[in-house]
A and B are shown apart, each in its own frame.
Chain A
Amino acid sequence: MNPLILTIILMTVFLGTMIVMASSHWLMIWIGFEMNLLAIIPILMKKYNPRAMEASTKYFLTQATASMLLMMAIIINLMHSGQWTITKVFNPTASIIMTLALAMKLGLTPFHFWVPEVTQGISLTSGLILLTWQKLAPMSILYQISPSINLNILLTMAVLSILVGGWGGLNQTQLRKIMAYSSIAHMGWMAAILVYNPTLTMLNMLIYIMMTLTMFMLFIHSSSTTTLSLSHTWNKAPLITTLILITLLSMGGLPPLSGFMPKWMIIQELTKNSSIILPTLMAIMALLNLYFYMRLTYSTSLTMFPSTNNMKMKWQFETKQITLLPPLIIASSLLLPLTPMLSILD
């Protein structure tokens, strides 16, 4: 794509999210969402093939529906409160509709069906933007309306998301679908703690973004989109296999890596609010996620996966430059001892 056009489009995406996060008027927020949606469609369609077109169409339809639901909730809120400022949404109907709309934007169950298919149809870089940047805007709105969200709906969606994210990823070999299901599960964790302590939602989002960024960068470096092609990295760049191992274990939430920090904090907050069965259930279901991450590490770094001899001699183009990989690796694996610093997030 022409670099100038690419810059303009990326700036629009960026600006859309910024407008959502910085506004205090509900209409501006809706405008921000729409700007974001329209600008990201060309990014999703960077590779012009029918698969990408189908993925972009699905994305557009679901997000547009969600925006319309959001608009309806805004109008109901306007009718009942008479003002357009963002505060907690007092009317229960408006609050429920808004929660559902934002869940649709995030990809929480039962609105998760678009995530794997859209992520699969687009290129790795677009998938990266989709799974990290696009989650910021809806999450910021959820953060702002968090005192008024109906707990039953949100917790149901959260638990179901963790279940679906775990079970759905079990049968996948395509890396983008695995990342999509991992995103669904992580969104579930974030939604679960939203009502009790929204700061932890933001912490989880931060750590999740760093880990997902790292994973996608590693995939882009080896240009691999399936488990099979990832399993050839031991031959090309053995260090990448170690980094994949560490990051995947961190995503699975194993101590002492930093992926454990949000899970631990979330379990702590939930337990402090006297729900014991829920965090136990969530923690056990996160183990399903760990299973398919482990399977990925088995084929990539812990074994020399069987491959034919000519796969070892694939053309080596010039090494891709991965921006910011070392700090990302450190951030996604070694931040656990910094947990007491969480007090700065208040």
Chain B
Amino acid sequence: MLKIIIPTIMLMPLTWLSKKNMIWINTTTYSLLISLISLSLLNQPNNNSLNFSLMFFSDPLSAPLLVLTTWLLPLMLMASQHHLSKEPLIRKKLYITMLAMLQTFLIMTFTATELISFYILFEATLVPTLIIITRWGKQTERLNAGLYFLFYTLVGSLPLLVALISIQNLTGSLNFLLIQYWNQALPDSWSNIFLWLACMMAFMVKMPLYGLHLWLPKAHVEAPIAGSMVLAAILLKLGGYGMLRITMMLNPQTNFMAYPFLMLSLWGMIMTSSICLRQTDLKSLIAYSSVSHMALVIVAVLIQTPWSYMGATALMIAHGLTSSMLFCLANSNYERTHSRTMILARGLQTLLPLMAAWWLLASLTNLALPPSINLIGELFVVMSSFSWSNITIILMGANITITALYSLYMLITTQRGKYTHHINSIKPSFTRENALMALHMTPLLLLSLNPKIILGFTY
């Protein structure tokens, strides 16, 4: 794993020592190379995990997330070039350093064996993200957004630290490789109920669960494009990944403790999808759509069946790529009109037809059109929740309908119809932007040919 971590750390000296006209080229190229190396991890030969050392391992759940993380860094760098073009050189280098630091922590989080190490790196991802949101965001609301982001996550995760340490006292070790074999049922007691709550709340806040999702629209909207991309694509999946790992140790309390969170998620996905229909702010719409998709992942993880785990993993990867692409598209609008209001930039298909093709593809994958992996994820989750309880099909069906509704609403508002007269002088799409969208879409489409690599460890 050091073959990925050390090059990512070395991206930081690379930016500081590069010449002025080479920083973007160097960092994008090398981060693409690193993502090529990480692709080899997708070869998971047997049912067991690939152990690189006592501290790092990769298994069929973490490998796709790792590949997504490393794939996203060059995309983030490409997306940030425009809004940083007017900044002084040192600030550009600082921005890229923050992204590289965040990338290092994310890679180490996804491959950590020891759960306390996972926790420390989980918290460590907060600091660069906070700096990116508050320092490089554009409106005054970003200060509030940063505070909400930081404090929601910290209040949720400090009990997790205490819970992990008390589990370490009980079982002797928190090394993930050992726990899989040592696992025993948690005895039934009040303190174990609180232990369950303490373990799960951190990830619930991160996912986010419907009642605790207040930080997400603020943070996503106020962050610059790279911040939004990494937040939507990876940081939310940290919550899902953590939940998938830690629910292994939390049986049998999950059988009854999961009910309130299942209810909140099932209701929440409908509510947040419905709110999307009434949004005026484009990024806010995409943020609420993230909450809705993640609510599906929470439902899948809490049901704990093999198919639901497959659906959760597939949905996480698919949503990562789709949501990141939608944020890039929204950002291309923002860079031209400097406004996130949807109705201010209508009828873009007439002016930017190729971008309209990308908008179409992104919206179609967002509403889980077959045969994309979004559909595979959602379908597995719907089927497993139906087997858990027949009534959920009503809610799931309603959610799929409303998702289709708001995705098409977003598409039609921004692309179709007569263009507003004040945007007829916008610049045409840059090759960089088209390449960005293609690089998002290509993995998504290719994965629908071979989805088994993203179906996780229960395949």
Contacts and interface: CB of A to CB of B under 8 A. Distances in A.
Interface residues of A, number: 26
B161 A283 contact: yes
Contacts of A156: none
Interface of A: 245, 249, 254-257, 260, 264, 267-268, 271-272, 276, 279-280, 283-284, 287, 290-291, 294, 298, 301-303, 336
Majority SS at the chain B contact face: helix
Interface residues of B, number: 28
Contacts of A291: 147, 151
Contacts of A276: 162, 166, 191, 194
A290 B205 CA distance: 19
Contacts of B194: 276
Contact of B159 (A268, A280, A298, A301): A280
Interface string B164-178: 011001000000000
A344 B123 CA distance: 27
A316 B429 CA distance: 48
Given A255-B124, A283-B159, A287-B151, 14 more contacts: A255-B120, A264-B120, A276-B166, A280-B158, A283-B158, A284-B155, A284-B158, A287-B154, A290-B151, A291-B147, A291-B151, A294-B150, A298-B134, A302-B143
Contact of A271 (B146, B154, B155, B162): B162
Contacts of B162: 267, 271, 276, 279-280, 283
A280 B158 CA distance: 7
Contact of B123 (A255, A268, A279, A302): A255
A279 B158 CA distance: 9
A276 B198 CA distance: 11
Nearest to B126: A254
Contacts of A283: 158-159, 161-162
Majority SS at the chain A contact face: helix
Contact of B147 (A256, A260, A272, A294): A294
B161 A254 contact: no
B105 interface: yes
A287 B158 contact: yes
A253 B147 CA distance: 15
B135 interface: yes
Nearest to A257: B127
Nearest to B131: A302
A267 B143 CA distance: 30
A260 B120 contact: yes
A303 B159 contact: no
A268 B158 contact: no
B121 A256 contact: yes
A245 B147 CA distance: 15
Nearest to B123: A255
